[in-house]
Each structure stands twice: as C-alpha cells, then as structure tokens.
Amino acid sequence: MARTKKLRIGVLFGGRSGEHEISLRSALTVMSAMDPRRYEIVPIGIGRDGRWSLQSDALRMLAEATPRLGALGRGGLPVSLLPYPDSRALVSTPSRKGHGDNGHGGPPLPGPLDVVFPVLHGTFGEDGTVQGLLDLAGIPYVGAGVLGSAIGMDKDAQKRLLASARIAVVRYFALTASDYQRKPALARRYTDELGYPVFVKPNALGSSIGITRVVNVRKLGPALDDAFQYDRKVLIEAACEGRELECAVLGNEAPAASIPGEIVVKHGHSFYSYDSKYVDPDGADTRIPAELPAAVTRRVREMSVAAFKALSLRGMARVDFLARHDFSEIFVNEVNTIPGFTSISMYPKLWEATGVPLAQLIDRLIELAIEDHRERSALKFTYQPVPERN
C-alpha cells in the first residue's frame, strides 16, 4: 500500500505586533500538536523588524520564548517573498551551486507549501495583510480571508456589522487621535453619556494590550494616552458588570460552536487584562464548561455562529461575551479570527472539552483551509461574453 505524501505546512509566527510573544507561544503549541506522519513542518518566523526567516533561524525566535523546541528543522535561511500562484511558493532563497539552477549560494527550499497556518496575532498578521499575500501567492491558509480578518481586527467596524445583524454589543464610542487633539472634551462627553466605569481600548489590537478600566474622569486622560500608543483610533465602551464567557467556532459554510467557557478574574485584577492572562499565574481561572442554564448555553452558541456568519469568517474564531449576572443581557464583546493556541488559551481548550482534541482540531483546520481554497479556485476570474443570438 502506497504511503500518503506528507502535506508541507508553513507555520507562520512572530510578526510586527505587540502580540509577538503570544504568537511564539501559540506557534509552539500548534507545531507540537501536528502529526509528523502526516505533516512536514516548515517554521516561518517574522521578526519585530519585519524580516522573514525560515527553519532554524525561525526556531531561534521560538527559543527566546521557551527552551523546549526539539528538531523541527535545520539550516537557517533568510527569505524573500515570492507571491507566484503557479508555484505556490511564499518564500524563496537563492540555491547553493550544485543544488539549484542559479548558483548564488544558500541551500534550496525543499518544495512548495501545501498550506500555511498563520499563528500571527494582531497587526500585520491577523488583520488581512498576510491573508492578502497568501491569496496572491495562491496558497491555501488556515482561518478567515482578507475581508473577515480585517473586520475581525477592526473593533469599530466589527461592532457596526454585528449591530446591523441584530447581534447585541455594548454601547460605545469611537474616538480618533485627531478628533481627540482638536476636541479633548469629546472623550469626557462620551464617558458622561456612558457612565463610569468605562473601558478604553485600542481599536485594532488584541491580548488586552492597551486596555484600561476607567473608574473616574481623572483616569481618563492617562488611559487614552496609553491606548493611542497602539492605534490612531480608540474605543470607549460601557462596562457590563457580570460574567465573561467565551465560545469557539469551527467551520466554513456550516460552522459549529463549542460548549461555552467562562473566565473568572481573581487575585485583585479588575478585569481580564494582559497581566491576569499572561503574567500573573493566579490572575484568572477558566471554567469549562461554564456553569450556565441550558437556555443560556444554547443562546451563546447560536450567537457565536451568527456572529461568525455576519462577519464573513471561515475556519476558526473565538467569540467573547459579556453577560449580566442574571443573563438579562448578553453582548458579543469581540470576535477573534486567530485565537490564541497557548497552553492557557480558551479556543483549543473549549474544543477539547467539546470532544475535539488538539491534534484533531489542527487536522480539521488544515482540511477546512484546503476545502475553502479548492472552492474559491473553481471560480472564474476572467469574463468572456457570449454573443447574443438573433
């Protein structure tokens, strides 16, 4: 019986984002869960300066995050972009004389990529930029496309679309840096209308970076200054005191939702901040499944799928919710198109509790990427009008 050819999976991580370190941790989890009998892993790292590197150079970036690497590849190769659909090559290097056809030095790449698994969080990775590059290169990739990724990253646009689909979101105002400079009183007017406490956050960033819970007007200015370090637009959101729920979605045209989980912040943290997530080991607990009435569980799962469809997503997403203690109101807080895959990340843990272990989840995401690429490749990209018959 002939052996099935391994799929060459480019795992893309790092990036020019405030979430660089989280991406490294997520990439390690993804690569460690890939079955070596099915996949040939090609690590591709993007440095903070935007430089791309392959194999051992990429693994060196991961070594900064953890000493537990293993032999995933050999031979560090600086790379250049080559978006050429016929070759399905995202990265290319000059080949070493005797091993290639140009003799400019450097070992050749072992072949085209079958699928790219982007594990890039935040700007220049989760926002549609890399997805557009992969579309130009004609390479299947895991997760949302250009439109869905861009919407998923832009919280203001995301909330507008959710609201238009009659999916509840908290009251909020968007404020640009230029408007704040010209009309500094505008921010106070917004907070007065919403009522304290409010949350101030960058419009297009994740992992709770740059988010501040503002309890009075004295804290507003510093919170805005912090958020504007990361984005030219910030959101001022009404607080929803109650419970924080999360639900994972998987699929393309017919997505399914996992059982919901709950985040319980503790140890003196006022909300699920970057510190409570990644710095303080006792900062938060996760409860999977969340202890919810059956009707609320059903509602959260239905809202998750509805949000996934409303934002034109595919592959995967994690939908975060805010709910009143009595569940009289349940809001979609935000949708993440490349959720974390770290050891504490909810997306893989929710699917594991739903009956889909991590290795199987990775397999399914790769299958969905290939399926979506195949369907989109079948579409026509040229138009030849048919002459009208008299």
Predicted local distance difference test score (pLDDT) of residue 78: 35
Q: Out of 203-207, 301-305, 338-342, which region has the weakest mean confidence (pLDDT)?
A: 203-207
**CA gap 307, 319 in Å, rounded:** 8
Predicted local distance difference test score (pLDDT) of residue 385: 84
Q: Mapping DSSP to helix (H, G, I), strand (E, B) and coil, where does residue 78 land?
A: strand
> 339 with 317: CB under 8 angstroms?
yes
Predicted local distance difference test score (pLDDT) of residue 82: 37
Q: Mapping DSSP to helix (H, G, I), strand (E, B) and coil, where does residue 317 land?
A: strand
Q: What is the DSSP string of 82-98?
A: EEETTTTEEEE-PPPBT
Q: If you average pLDDT over every residue of the chain, what do you get? A: 84
Q: Which two tokens stand for residue 98?
A: 């005797």
* Mean pLDDT across 211-237: 95
Predicted local distance difference test score (pLDDT) of residue 64: 65
pLDDT tens by residue, 174-197: 999 999 999 999 999 999 999 999
* Mean pLDDT across 322-329: 96
* Mean pLDDT across 337-352: 92
pLDDT tens by residue, 124-169: 889 999 999 999 999 999 999 999 999 999 999 999 999 999 999 9
Q: Is the pLDDT of residue 62 over 90?
A: no
Q: Out of 23-27, 28-32, 103-107, 126-130, which region has the weakest mean confidence (pLDDT)?
A: 103-107
Predicted local distance difference test score (pLDDT) of residue 207: 58
Residue for token digits 């220049």? 124
Q: Sort strands 330-336 and 315-324 into parallel, antiparallel or unpaired.
A: antiparallel
User: By percentage, how much of the chain surpasses pLDDT 90?
Assistant: 62
Please tell me whether the peptide bond between 289 and the residue prior to it is cis, using omega within 30 degrees of 0: yes
CA–CA–CA angle 51, 314, 335 (5° rounding) = 80
Domains of the chain (ranges, CATH numbers)? 7-141 (3.40.50.20), 152-165+241-376 (3.30.470.20), 172-238 (3.30.1490.20)
* Mean pLDDT across 204-214: 81
Q: Out of 18-27, 59-68, 180-189, 366-375, which region has the weakest mean confidence (pLDDT)?
A: 59-68
Q: Is the pLDDT of residue 96 over 50?
A: no
> 348 with 356: CB under 8 angstroms?
no
Predicted local distance difference test score (pLDDT) of residue 204: 86
pLDDT tens by residue, 359-387: 999 999 999 999 999 999 998 888 878 88
User: By percentage, how much of the chain surpasses pLDDT 70?
Assistant: 81
**CA gap 333, 104 in Å, rounded:** 52
* Mean pLDDT across 335-363: 94
In 3D space, the residue among 3, 22, 5, 23 whose CA is nearest the CA of residue 13 turns out to be 23
Q: Sort strands 256-257 and 198-202 into parallel, antiparallel or unpaired.
A: unpaired
Q: Mapping DSSP to helix (H, G, I), strand (E, B) and coil, where does residue 272 land?
A: coil
Predicted local distance difference test score (pLDDT) of residue 17: 78
**CA gap 155, 208 in Å, rounded:** 13
| Residue type present at position 179 | D
* Mean pLDDT across 343-348: 88
Q: Is the pLDDT of residue 74 over 60?
A: no
More confident residue, 146 or 88: 146
Q: Is the pLDDT of residue 228 over 60?
A: yes
